Amino acid sequence: MWHNHAMTRIRVSTTVDQTLLEEARAARIGLNDAGLMDAALEALLQKHRRAQIDSAYAVYDGHPLSEADAWGDLESWRDAVGRA
């Protein structure tokens, strides 16, 4: 993971939900609060990136799989992949 490599660190002071923090600490025994924050931020950014990718593919939802474009149609491609 990227947070295990040397990098500039910044101090964060905030308040959080006590129960949520206790559950996170219990789930990741041995990881300090800075590590929990790193893991939480990494998970948030991964979720955001997945949403961006899903959104980019949403444009295809308005077209049938059998509709051809410059590369052919997705239905034929999916069938070919399934047979491979």
Q: Domain residues of the chain, as ranges?
A: 2-83
Cα angle 9, 12, 15 (rounded to 5 degrees) comes to 155
The per-residue pLDDT for range 26-55, each reduced to its tens digit, is: 999 999 999 999 999 999 999 999 999 999
pTM score of the predicted model: 0.65
Collapse the DSSP code of 84 into the 3-class scheme (helix H, G, I; strand E, B; otherwise coil) and give the result: coil
**pLDDT at 63 (0 to 100):** 87
